[in-house]
Amino acid sequence: MNRQATGKGMVEWDGALWLSDPEDRFGFRANWKVNRILYRETSAFQEVAVVETDGFGKALVLDGIVQTTERDAFIYNEMITHIPLATHPHPEQVCLIGGGDCGAAGEAVKYPSVERVDMVEIDPKVVEVSLTHLPEISGGDPNPRIRFHYEDGAAFVERQESQYDVIAVDSSDPVGPAAVLFEKPFYRAVHRALKEDGMMVCQSESPVFHPDVMKRVHDSLRELFPFVRTYLATVPTYPGGIWSFTLASKQVDPMASVVGERLQDRDTRYVNRDVLEGCFKLPVYVKKLLDLKK
């Protein structure tokens, strides 16, 4: 019999502590066996926790939802940064919205051409906790090229004009404070904030569990950008494993402008030239969902 323990999503089950997804989708929910709760506090925005899982190492958990784990953070963080940074003509000014675990920012500064990464995270607690309790993902002491801004990403982007080469939206799911980051007014502001050959990328959820979100993101960006390319990766931590990213570009088609040599010496564990070229190849059900030709 399940008994609700303290903390969002925590249940005791057969004498062990489990973190259970707060919601199911199509009757499916992930459960994580947890050895220890290392940190848990409620910030102004959400419950922020770090747990030691039984098999995925330490995990960052927001409102009971696992955001990233030591075992597979590298896949997601590399996919959301290296794909735009290895296809943009010359990335110098980068803006990251969300991404409080700091893993994506650490990937972005691996490019010598990147002069500055503006990291706009709504919740300072997530950054503080990740730097302190999750150095394996955050990298510990941040690189001096990363500048932290603690505010709503939508409000920040609204004030920018022709400022950035790449904007990456590393948000949590489209509920609570992140909901605004999946809406058209935000995308219009991102378009304005990009330079004339700028690109944006966002995590766009699972094609299996959130096809509605993925389609809405794709179609909204198609109204603004001439090139919109969805790509996929397998991130075991996220429901169903398969995860989507949507890349939108003002001038160059990311699929035709792979600058694979840039990946050399980037010290990656997942992205290489093969992944860069192959991630844009989509299966039939995804092409159908997005109304793309076979």
Binding-site member from 63, 107, 121, 165 for ligand SAM (CB under 6 A)? 121
CB 263 → ligand SAM: shortest distance, Å? Answer: 21
123 is in an annotated binding site: no
Binding-site member from 142, 153, 207, 254 for ligand SAM (CB under 6 A)? 153
Matching residue, tokens 């990147």: 114
Binding-site member from 91, 98, 142, 239 for ligand SAM (CB under 6 A)? 98
Q: Which amino acid is at 71?
A: R
170 is in an annotated binding site: yes
177 is in an annotated binding site: yes
Q: Is 15 exposed, middle or buried (0-12, 13-18, 19+ CB in 10 A)?
A: exposed
Dihedral Cα 137, 244, 123, 175, nearest 10 deg: -140
Q: Is 201 in the site for ligand SAM (CB under 6 A)?
A: no
Q: Which residue is nearest to ligand SAM (CB)?
A: 98
In the residue annotation, 291 being an active-site residue is answered as: no
Instruction: Give the Cα separation of 111 and 293 in Å (integer).
Output: 34
Q: Is 162 exposed, middle or buried (0-12, 13-18, 19+ CB in 10 A)?
A: exposed
Q: Is 139 in the site for ligand SAM (CB under 6 A)?
A: no
CB 188 → ligand SAM: shortest distance, Å? Answer: 16
Choose one: 136-144, 165-173, 223-231, 249-257; the region binding ligand SAM (CB under 6 A): 165-173
CA distances from 269 to 20, 238, 248 (A): 29, 19, 25
Choose one: 115-123, 160-168, 251-259, 286-294; the region binding ligand SAM (CB under 6 A): 115-123
> Which of 81, 73, 113, 78 is CA-nearest to residue 97?
81
Q: Spot the catalytic one: 63, 72, 123, 170.
A: 170
Angle between the 211-222 and 184-193 helix axes, to the nearest 10 degrees? 50
Binding-site member from 91, 100, 106, 139 for ligand SAM (CB under 6 A)? 100
> Which of 20, 52, 50, 48 is CA-nearest to residue 35?
52
Instruction: Give the Cα separation of 14 and 104 in Å (integer).
Output: 37
Binding-site member from 7, 9, 139, 177 for ligand SAM (CB under 6 A)? 177
Q: Measured from the CB atom, is 58 or 227 closer to ligand SAM? A: 58
Q: Is 233 in the site for ligand SAM (CB under 6 A)?
A: no
The pair of structure tokens assigned to 121 is 């995270």
Q: Are 253 and 210 in contact (CB under 8 A)?
A: no
First-residue to last-residue Cα distance in the chain: 48
CB 66 → ligand SAM: shortest distance, Å? Answer: 8
- Number of alpha helices (DSSP H) and beta strands (DSSP E) in the chain: 9, 14
Q: Is 167 in the site for ligand SAM (CB under 6 A)?
A: no
Q: Is 282 in the site for ligand SAM (CB under 6 A)?
A: no
Residues of this chain that bind ligand SAM (CB under 6 A): 60, 67-68, 76, 97-101, 120-123, 126, 152-154, 170-172, 177-178, 180-181, 203
Active site residue ranges: 170
In the annotated binding site for S-methyl-5'-thioadenosine, the residues are 46, 121, 152-153, 177
